[in-house]
Amino acid sequence: MAAIGSANSATYEKLALLASPTDRAQAEAAVLKKSRDWVPFAEAEAVVVLGGDGYMLQVLHYMLDFDRVLPAYGLNLGTVGFLMNKHKSSRTLEERIARARPVAISPLRMDATTASGETQSCYAINEVSLLRETRQTAKLEVVVNGKTRIPELSCDGVLVATPAGSTAYNLSANGPILPLGANILALTPISPFRPRRWRGAILPDTAEIVFRVLESVKRPVLVVADQKEVRDISEVRVSAWREHQLTLLFDRGRSLDERIFAEQFMS
């Protein structure tokens, strides 16, 4: 079998194929399975992912859970496909992967302490979000690198987004779009009431961000790391998880950072 790779990316001789359970993805998987020899995920050097952004996130979380992180090349058979490549191309799949540009993404590590004193740790590829659980406004103390920056933030919530996740929930909350490679994070409030004029901050990804819940009994708060939820929290610590870096493969001219640039000029 010919090696797959280029001077600008690793050489991948063994590829695994993972497909979303949707009809479109399964139909394409049936076609691709006939086009070449595939190997099980446990033996692969890279993985081809068929589906949408949601399924790509599932695959990336799966790899982190089992501590087997492989470069991932996605083909969009979903809706938005921000993390994916176009489905159709004049080039073969082997040619596309050989020419693909690798993009490194550092997930976030989230350590949450509940009101009962239990601790839970997980990670997020897009964002970590704190949200009020009831009709009562959340009140949070915001600490960055050991220094209290906002003694009391009254809001519906607040989130920390990676560059890869900056065009998702963060953008909907009027947060900034972050280019990849800048090594920064977005700290974005969700419907802030006080300080009313605070619109968030851009922080280096070396920063540790701590949120402490004020009046937690009256104003309970939950935290969500991508899809994992922890309720009734008292404190949350968030930082970049550099030692578990992920790699996405993008067609030339269609990389994630180019899409982030393009998003900023959309009307």
Active site residues: 53
Q: Half-sphere exposure of 67 toward its Cβ, with a 13 Å CA cutoff?
A: 1
Q: Is 126 annotated as a binding residue?
A: yes
Q: Is 37 annotated as a binding residue?
A: no
Q: Is 153 annotated as a binding residue?
A: no
Q: Is 25 annotated as a binding residue?
A: no
Q: Is 167 annotated as a binding residue?
A: yes
Question: How far is it, in rounded angstroms, from Cα 190 to Cα 170?
Answer: 9
Question: How far is it, in rounded angstroms, from Cα 169 to Cα 149?
Answer: 23
Q: Is 146 annotated as a binding residue?
A: no
H-type alpha helices, the chain: 23-33, 53-65, 93-99, 169-172, 256-263
Q: Is 172 annotated as a binding residue?
A: yes
Q: Is 251 annotated as a binding residue?
A: no
Secondary structure (DSSP) of 206-257? T--EEEEEESTTTS-EEEEETTEEE-SEEEEEEEE-GGG-EEEEE-TT--HH
Q: Which residues contribute to the annotated binding site? A: 53-54, 126-127, 156, 164, 167-172
Q: Which residues are annotated as a binding site for NAD(+)?
A: 53-54, 126-127, 156, 164, 167-172
